[in-house]
Structure 1
Amino acid sequence: MTGAADPAVLTEALRRELCATGRLLAAAGLVTGTSGNLSARLGELVVVTPAGVALDALEPDDCPVLDLAGNRLAGTLDPTSETSLHLGVYRTTFAGAAVHTHSRDAVAVASVRTELPPLHYTALALGGTVRVAPYATYGTPELAESVLTALDGKSAALMANHGALAIGPDLTRARDNAELLEWLCGVYIRASQLGEPRVLTEAELVAVIERSARPWRPEGT
């Protein structure tokens, strides 16, 4: 295929963005070595990171281009082992991008909790309480199904003894959500060291939603 119909041409900018996002995640410490993977959707096409390549060493041509059935349309390297999870995200959500990390605090929380409760109101950006998907071997349909169930209605899910998945309308938002989730996990760990964390109530979270929906006005007006 040539010209505008060539998937490699259609997705060139997205492949570059995937590489840039991988470098940002590595610099932030959310991925190390070849751990973690990313994807982004463009219509009926999905660009994913390849298997076995460190995210801070990616080049655009390294990133395979797939259709929603998983057929490889461009790229010479094998797609990430978590391809079934990424494709499942696009079949079941309106997400435009997905970020899977093995970040330290997310792994720690996901190794001891069945959910991450909302200690801070910014958890609302992820849907409030973050569920922890039961453990399954990486790259398996069982893991993909488990994580997609935990992700239902949320912008992120933790993966027991494994890591985390964050989604968003684009790579910037998905990366922001991954960073927020790691921060919230860190807050939970530190709060737990001091005592029993105080979890925000549903009424308190609703009040935040209502407050954010109101236009701001100077006090006294």
Structure 2
Amino acid sequence: MAEQRRGERGGRDGRTGAHEVSEPRRRDARAEETSAWRELVATARRTLSDGLVVGTSGNVSVRVGDTVLVTPSGVPYDRLTPDDVTGVDLTGRQVLGTLVPTSELPMHLAIYGSTGALAVVHTHAVHATAVSTLVPELPAVHYMSAALGGPVRVAPYATYGTDELAENMLRALTDRRGCLLQNHGTITYGTTLAQAYDRTAQLEWMCRLWLTASSVPGLAPSLLTPEQLTEAAERLRGYGQRRS
């Protein structure tokens, strides 16, 4: 799909006259927003190179203060430049750039409005999307389920870009840091882009694992108990290097 930019118009519907509505006032990106945009573009390109999306599907956002930087609609990630920074405020009003924000903006804003998230990654990963068509939640087939808060729920299907989809997603995210979107894909969040991306990659891997184990005739995967997941969650809190 061709790059989309807003034209110089008298109003939102392109008409001029006494009842015109002016475009919202834009501003220049601040230093921290410019830095965050570079990281956002790198993360978006990684979703493509790692096979989590195809073409311009999926989207990524990061929150900087009260501004949400987000990938634009229908623009190949390899064409994004530092000058293409695209941002909205927490109500969805565009404050940075001229590219049209992703059509999935309602999901991103719903997460920022309901959680402490600072980054969101949405993909159309193949195995995760396949699982979303089969079961109401991904069973606890691996202890990394604990990193997402437990067995990953599937949000009921709704048309992409709608408030209904955002509402379904929020219900599935209750006490979770990621969910599947039925017949659609995945969405995860974190306090950094790296964390949000790692969670979506882990979710895709777990879906592939469950599909593989479930495909063996006459056998069913063993699943972890809630107690085992709780123990894993405790250990994961201390995972990684500690700063002195």
- Same topology, TM > 0.5: yes
Report the 3-state secondary structure (helix = DSSP H, G, I; strand = E; otherwise coil) of the residue aligned with 2:100. Answer: coil
**Alignment: residue pair count:** 211
CA distance in 1, matches of 2:234, 2:67: 37
Aligned with 1:201 (options 194, 218, 225): 225
Q: Which protein has the bigger helix share?
A: 1
Q: Which has the larger radius of gyration?
A: 2
**Residues 1:130 and 1:212: Cα distance change in structure 2 (over 3 Å):** closer
Query: 144, 147, 170: which is aligned to 2:192?
Result: 170
Tell me if structure 2 keeps the 8 A contact 1:7–1:73: no
In 2, Cα distance between equivalents of 1:74 and 1:207? 44
Once the 2 structures are TM-superposed, how far is the Cα of residue 179 of structure 1 from its aligned partner? 0.3
- The residue aligned with 2:11 is none
- 1:82 matched residue in structure 2: 104
**Structure 2 unaligned runs (5+)?**
1-26, 240-244
Contact 2:29/2:85 (CA < 8 Å) preserved in 1?
Answer: no
Alignment correspondent of 1:218: none
Deviation at 1:148, TM superposition (A): 1.2
Which residues in structure 2 correspond to 1:15-164 (within 5 Å)?
A: 15-164=37-186
Distance 1:7 1:188 in 2: 43
Structure 1: runs of 5+ lacking an equivalent:
216-221
Give the conservation status (yes or no) of the 8 Å contact 2:34–2:85.
Answer: no
8 Å contact from structure 2 (residues 146, 230) kept in 1: no
1:31-90 CA-to-partner distances (Å, cap 9, x unmatched) read 110100010001101000000012344323334111001111111110000001101110
What is the aligned-residue identity percentage?
A: 47
CA RMSD of aligned residues (A): 1.8
The TM-score normalised by the length of structure 2 is: 0.82
Secondary structure, counterpart of 2:188 in structure 1: strand
Q: Which amino acid aligns with 2:193?
A: L
